[in-house]
Structure 1
Amino acid sequence: MSMITKINVAIYDSPIGKISLASVEGKLVHLDFEGNEDRLKTIQNRRFKNIEWAENTSVPVSVVSWLDAYFAEEAGPLPMDEITMIGTEFQKSVWSALMTIPCGKSLSYAELARQLGNPKAVRAVARANALNPVSIIVPCHRVIGSNGTLTGYAGGLERKAWLLEHEAGILAKAA
C-alpha cells in the first residue's frame, strides 16, 4: 500500500488577487496566484505521488501572518521553518540565492547565474526561477532581464511590476 500525500489548498485574498496556499502536513509547499491551478498541480505531481487534494483552511498561521504584514508594507522575518522546498540541488541553490536579494532590489538572471558561480547557466537559472514553488516569499519576482525589463512571471507581468513597486514602498518606509 503506497502512502497518500494530502495537499491542503487554502485561498488567501491579496490586494493583487487570490493566492493559493498549498500545504502538506502543516508546511507550505506552494504559493501561487489564482488561475495557476494547472501549474500548482503540475509542479506538485512531480514532487509527490498519490496526491489527495483537499480544500480547507489548514495553512501555516505564520505564513498568513507574514503575507498580512507584507501586504501592509511591513517586512517581517520569513517563516522558512513553515515551508518545505522540494527540488533538485541546483533548483534549491537558485531559490536560496533568490532569498538573498533584498526587498526593494532586483537582479538580472545573468547576475544571479554569476552569483552562483556559473555565468553560463543563465537559462538553467531562469528555468529554476520559473519552477519556484513558493512565489513572493521566495522572491522570484525580483529577477529581471539584463536590460532592466520585466520578463517571465507565472503570476503575470502586471503583478510582478506591482510587487516590485510595493517593495520599493516597504524599502522607503524602512529607511
Structure 2
Amino acid sequence: MWPSDGEIVQEEDILLSTLLAHGLPAAVHFVPGLSSTAVPKLKERVRKNATKLIRNRSFEVDKLLQCGSDSDGQLALLAISTMKKKHSFLQRTRPHLIAESAEKIETEGDVCTLKVSGYLRGPPLNVNSLVHVPWWGDFQMQQIIIEKDPHAIDVKKVLFFLSFFRRYSNPAYLCEIQKKHGNNLQDKLK
C-alpha cells in the first residue's frame, strides 16, 4: 500500500529495505484514495507519485490497484491469484543470503569475524566480492564453505506423495473402488 502523497516515513523505508534485502518475490501495489479522487489531474498526479516511489524501490510496476470498493477488492484478488513470480532487478543481478544462523568467531578489539550460515539465492557468490549488510556497510569475505543442506527435500517422498494424491484424487479411480468394494469403501481405505 503506497501513500498517495508520495512521502514515506523512516519506519516504512526500513521495512521496504528489509523486504527487498530478503528477496520479496512479487508485489501487488495499492494506492488508497485513487478511486475516490474526482479530479483527473489530481488522480494522475497521485498515480505518478506512487509510480515514482515504486520504481525508486526497485519494484516493477505492472498495475496500480485501487482499494475503495468491494469490486476493487475482487479485482485485487483476481490479480493476486493470476500473478507470476517475478524477480526484481536486485535479485537477478546480485546474490543474496537468507541467514539461518550467525555466530562470532574471532574478536580483536572492535573488529570481529562473523560466521553466517543460510541459503544463497540468485547468481553465484564470489569470495573476492564485498558483502553488503543493511545499515552496517560493506565487508570483505574470508571464505565460503558449501555444506550439505540439513533440511534437504527427499525427492523420492515428494514423488510418492504426488503419485498417491493424483491416483486417489482421480474421480474415475474412486468410482472404480466404490464399485469393487461397495459401501465398505471407508474401511478399505484405512
Tell me if TM exceeds 0.5.
no
After TM superposition, the score normalised by the length of structure 2 is 0.22
RCO (CA 8 Å, sep 6+): is it higher in 1 or 2? 1
After TM superposition, the score normalised by the length of structure 1 is 0.24
Q: Which has the larger radius of gyration?
A: 2
